[in-house]
Structure 1
Amino acid sequence: MFLAHSCFHAMVLVLITTVMAKENMCDLVGEEGSESLKEQTLLKKLEPLYNRRFETEIVSEDDYYIYQFRVCREVFSNMSNSGLVQIDKKNKKITVVGRINDTHLASGSKWIMLIYKGGEAYGTHCGNEERKAIVMINCNQKTLGDGFTMITEEREKLKECFYVFELESSLACPPEDSHLSIGSILLITFASLVAVYIIGGFLYQRLVVGAKGMEQFPHFVFWQDLGNLVADGCDFVCRSKPRNVPTAYRGVGDDQLGEESEERDDHLLPM
């Protein structure tokens, strides 16, 4: 029984692996091995979005469409290379807007542009050319992938028509610069030296010199004198008048004199 159960799980694993191996992925323009290195790098950067599915709805008085999008994966496995599809909710019609086997990539400082070409041909618009989807992936540090919306559909031209979508993702953001500035380096160095000076001096004063109390602080007398000098300097600069102001002369009235002592000094006179 256990052996049969193990064999069943092994067969399921092989089947899943086979299906995943057959799943189509993005195919960049160019022969195998000669694709743009920059586009390959961007494609590698978008790998965390491969297993996600995005959807947006467009509702108006006459139309009700749902657009589904996947990065380098098929939206529907029964629709070959369907990277972005349009679902008409009224008549249940599904239209492939762009295919992953005709993928183009470009990037800027805070965006990645993913283009799927090779969609189903227009019926009466744009000279019956194939549809094309442009997905602008904009920088948003707060999400891996969210905010998929349709911006516009340009189909009033004779050719080169397209759909434009937006998606927010942190994958489109530039790498954060973690280098420290010169000021930060100097500040950290100064703080480290001060810490070494205080700790090392404290241990030396306590363990070698045998100091106690505040005298354990390194060069305590020097810093004490320095503190007094700084205080005197601040007192001299900041006070608005001198510290020792001579008392102004003022006469003394009779009412301010005390009573005359009854004690006489007649005994000091010669007899």
Structure 2
Amino acid sequence: MLIRYFSIFLIAFIFAVESKEHVCNFKSSANSYVQNILQKFSGKNFSIFDSEYSYTVNLCSEKIAISRLSTNSHFEETLAFNAQMTSSNGDSWAMLTYPSERDTCDEIISVMIRCPTGNVKNGQLYRGDEECSPFEIGDNSLCPRSGWSQFWIFILIFICTFALYFFGGCLINRLKGAQGRNQIPHLAFWVWIGDGFANAANKFCRCHGFPEDDRSQISAHDEAILPI
């Protein structure tokens, strides 16, 4: 029994340590929007290669945020630390900035998380050919979404399903020997639906003729008007 309790305590302690390691500590306070974005990337190492260097980017879970390894001399250089990270964000992007540990460029290294477009793929690291280009990571959740997209997807699925039902039912009934409108699947149901709409339209949208069409005041001496 004592061993069981000790095992449970050890597992809980390991999970607590791991969760603590994945907490992002910013040099300046970051809003919950940026924190939520980083949660899915915390604890992951992203790597990218070019002709001279191999870059590694780690968000939050390690001391070193960005490092590079020379492919020729195998010399590793630290470029930025997570403890120095600051953040900014917009509606569809988040920018992480670090003071650069090298003297070149603008002395700031940036990592942008944004909607995947062009060379930026979902969950992958990208960097342009220029030496001082920012690192970029794609995240599908940051892509703008229209409120109508899901509605039109539902409409499309409904139309396709109805077309499959209608034409498939007609084909099956025809193979059974049905002719004409009897090929329509569940014909009695659709006739009932049509009659219901017709009766409702006649009740609420009943139209009267023009006043001169009223025959109630026709005199007996008037000649009968034959229908055209």
Residue 57 of structure 1 and its aligned partner are, at CA, apart by 0.7
Q: Are the aligned partners of 1:106 and 1:113 in contact in 2 as well (CA < 8 Å)?
A: yes
Residue 83 of structure 1 and its aligned partner are, at CA, apart by 1.6
Provide closer, same or farther for how the CA distance between residues 53 and 36 of structure 1 changes in structure 2, counting only shifts above 3 A.
closer
Q: Are the aligned partners of 1:149 and 1:165 in contact in 2 as well (CA < 8 Å)?
A: yes
Alignment correspondent of 1:72: 60
Structural mapping, 1:5-84, within 5 Å: 6=4, 9-10=7-8, 12-23=10-21, 25-30=23-28, 35=29, 37=31, 40-59=32-51, 63=52, 65-74=53-62, 80=63, 82-84=64-66
Residue 150 of structure 1 and its aligned partner are, at CA, apart by 2.0
Q: C-alpha separation between the residues in 1 aligned to 2:21 and 2:6?
A: 23
> Quick check: which has more Rg, 1 or 2?
1
The code of the aligned residue for 1:48 comes to K
The code of the aligned residue for 2:82 comes to I
Q: Deviations over 1:119-150 (max 9, x none)?
A: 4243xx46xx8x5321233313996412x222
User: How high is the sequence identity, in percent, across the aligned residues?
Assistant: 18
Alignment correspondent of 1:117: 98
Residue 9 of structure 1 and its aligned partner are, at CA, apart by 3.7
Q: C-alpha separation between the residues in 2 aligned to 1:47 and 1:21?
A: 10
Alignment correspondent of 2:88: 105
Provide closer, same or farther for how the CA distance between residues 18 and 180 of structure 1 changes in structure 2, counting only shifts above 3 A.
closer
Q: Are the aligned partners of 2:25 and 2:82 in contact in 1 as well (CA < 8 Å)?
A: yes
Kindly indicate whether residue 126 of structure 2 is the aligned counterpart of residue 149 of structure 1: yes
Alignment correspondent of 2:116: 140
Provide closer, same or farther for how the CA distance between residues 84 and 171 of structure 1 changes in structure 2, counting only shifts above 3 A.
farther
Provide closer, same or farther for how the CA distance between residues 58 and 71 of structure 1 changes in structure 2, counting only shifts above 3 A.
same
The code of the aligned residue for 1:202 comes to W
The code of the aligned residue for 1:136 comes to M
Q: Deviations over 1:25-83 (max 9, x none)?
A: 433353xxxx354xx31331332222432110111xxx3x1111123322xxxxx3x12
Provide closer, same or farther for how the CA distance between residues 92 and 200 of structure 1 changes in structure 2, counting only shifts above 3 A.
closer
The code of the aligned residue for 2:60 comes to C
Kindly indicate whether residue 166 of structure 2 is the aligned counterpart of residue 166 of structure 1: no
Structural mapping, 1:167-206, within 5 Å: 167-178=137-148, 180=151, 199=189, 202=192
The code of the aligned residue for 1:170 comes to N
Aligned Cα root-mean-square deviation (Å): 4.0
Structural mapping, 1:84-99, within 5 Å: 84-99=66-81
Aligned residue-pair number: 161
Structure 2 alignment gaps of length 5 or more: 160-187, 200-228
Structural mapping, 1:183-262, within 5 Å: 199=189, 202=192, 218=195
Provide closer, same or farther for how the CA distance between residues 167 and 36 of structure 1 changes in structure 2, counting only shifts above 3 A.
closer
TM-score of the two chains, using structure 1 as the length reference: 0.46
The code of the aligned residue for 2:99 comes to G
Q: Are the aligned partners of 1:105 and 1:114 in contact in 2 as well (CA < 8 Å)?
A: yes
Q: C-alpha separation between the residues in 2 aligned to 1:134 and 1:175?
A: 26
Q: Are the aligned partners of 1:140 and 1:170 in contact in 2 as well (CA < 8 Å)?
A: yes
Q: C-alpha separation between the residues in 2 aligned to 1:137 and 1:177?
A: 23
Q: Deviations over 1:207-227 (max 9, x none)?
A: xxxxxxxxxx738xx9xxxxx
Structure 1 alignment gaps of length 5 or more: 75-79, 155-162, 189-197, 204-216, 223-271
